[in-house]
Structure 1
């Protein structure tokens, strides 16, 4: 009887420790964005975001659902995306500069910038008020 109770205890302990809420392949935050939600007025605005870690890259930039933008390298070898409505520039390994031109439309604009480092994904969302 003692052996069966001990075996039951071992099996229960193994099951409890093998079941964790973290899925295999999940990574902890290895970007450490300084802000994830930003509100701009309709005027021209800019913001500098910092990251606590290096090694991240942009996976997506979309403005109001449109995500067909081309990245270019700046003179420092970092990337930027320059459109009429916005500029997104990685200025250093830990700095992301975002600028939005004045919103002259009657609709708010939503700019989403997706970042990735390894198997960790994050994003910053900028909402710019309508005129």
Structure 2
């Protein structure tokens, strides 16, 4: 059963919009305690702190070998996490990413159209 002070703390934190991480964590713990759930720090998940958060997953450094199964394996592994929505874009292990570092450029500014297209596709998907 929830005490009066417990209810007051929840109301105060909700009214203040709990902008700081610590306040959001405390509010999540207090709600879990009120609802009969576990309250240890390990059980406070990111959606308790920010229910509006959209978690997206990206496969990076994927091998370019079309016969390899690593990319498929990584996608299946990512699909096991129900809170993570996988992005359609895959970023491959391209030499262009290493080449641009020494030039102080991004791949969007580089001459490799494949790498440029990957990053532009990723940016378009993330902001959509």
Q: TM-score normalized by structure 2?
A: 0.25
Task: Name whichever structure is richer in helix by fraction.
Answer: 2
Higher percent of residues as strand: 1
Whose relative contact order is higher, 1 or 2, with alpha carbons under 8 Å and at least 6 apart?
A: 1
